């Protein structure tokens, strides 16, 4: 029997979702110094300008992701955009294209709001994330949103 994958907007402060966020935080802390991690906390993920989704496999939370709507700015050519944040899939569930499905859901939510540009910041040492984003059509771009150009961050964008 095949497992059923369901991805939908949910609250990030649920007891079965918090361990996913904690695992992502621990992973990022193992790669970068605290000042080089640009993490949205649970309270920030609950903001009105954030769409947080949870991927569930047969009901169990196995992944998550968020998109934050951002105002038009000079570094986005005056266009509204969305920033992809907090992408994570539990290690035991990787290789099933769950992250790709989460990303597609987040991009779809931007399109439905009339937003045609997705941006993201990820770390240069996150090889799997970089591979996912390149495969999904993201291209390297310059810094945005006040992120420092510290040599550790990779900034990417995609026209939706």
- How confident is the model over 108-144, as pLDDT tens digits? 999 999 999 999 999 999 999 999 999 999 999 999 9
For residues 147 and 156, which has the higher predicted lDDT (pLDDT)? Answer: 156
d(CA 68, CA 104): 15
- Which residue range(s) make up the domain with 42? 5-159
d(CA 68, CA 150): 22
Q: Give the distance, in angstroms, between the CA of residue 56 and the centroid of all CA atoms in the same chain.
A: 16
pLDDT exceeds 70 at position 1: no
Q: At 14, phi and psi to the nearest 5? A: -75, 145
pTM as predicted: 0.93
Whose tokens are 């979702």? That residue is 17
d(CA 89, CA 55): 8
If pLDDT is split at 50, 70 and 90, which confidence band does 2 have?
A: low
Q: Do residues 28 and 36 make contact, with C-beta atoms less than 8 angstroms apart?
A: no
d(CA 14, CA 5): 18
Q: Which among 68, 132, 107 is positioned nearest to 154, based on CA atoms?
A: 132
If pLDDT is split at 50, 70 and 90, which confidence band does 78 have?
A: confident
Q: At 155, phi and psi to the nearest 5? A: -100, 135
Looking at residue 63, its pLDDT comes to 98
Structure confidence by residue, pLDDT tens digits, 44-72? 999 999 999 999 999 999 999 999 999 88
Q: What is the CATH number of the domain that holds 153?
A: 3.40.630.30
d(CA 40, CA 21): 10
Total domain count, the chain: 1
Q: Do residues 81 and 70 make contact, with C-beta atoms less than 8 angstroms apart?
A: yes
**Beta strands of 20-113 (E only): which ranges?**
50-57, 60-70, 81-89
């Amino acid at each position: 029997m095949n497992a059923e994958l369901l991805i939908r907007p949910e609250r990030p402060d649920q007891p079965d979702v918090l361990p996913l966020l904690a695992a992502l935080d621990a992973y990022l802390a193992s790669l970068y110094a605290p000042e080089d991690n640009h993490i949205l906390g649970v309270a920030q993920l609950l903001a009105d300008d954030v769409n947080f989704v949870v991927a569930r496999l047969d009901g169990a939370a196995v992944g998550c992701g968020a998109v934050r709507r951002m105002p038009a700015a000079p570094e986005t050519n005056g266009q509204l955009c969305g920033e992809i944040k907090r992408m994570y899939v539990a290690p035991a569930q990787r290789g099933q294209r769950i992250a790709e499905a989460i990303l597609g859901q987040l991009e779809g939510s931007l399109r439905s709001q009339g937003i045609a540009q997705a941006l993201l910041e990820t770390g240069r040492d996150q090889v799997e994330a970089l591979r996912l984003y390149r495969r999904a059509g993201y291209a390297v771009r310059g810094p945005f949103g006040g992120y420092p150009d510290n040599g550790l961050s990779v900034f990417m964008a995609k026209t939706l």
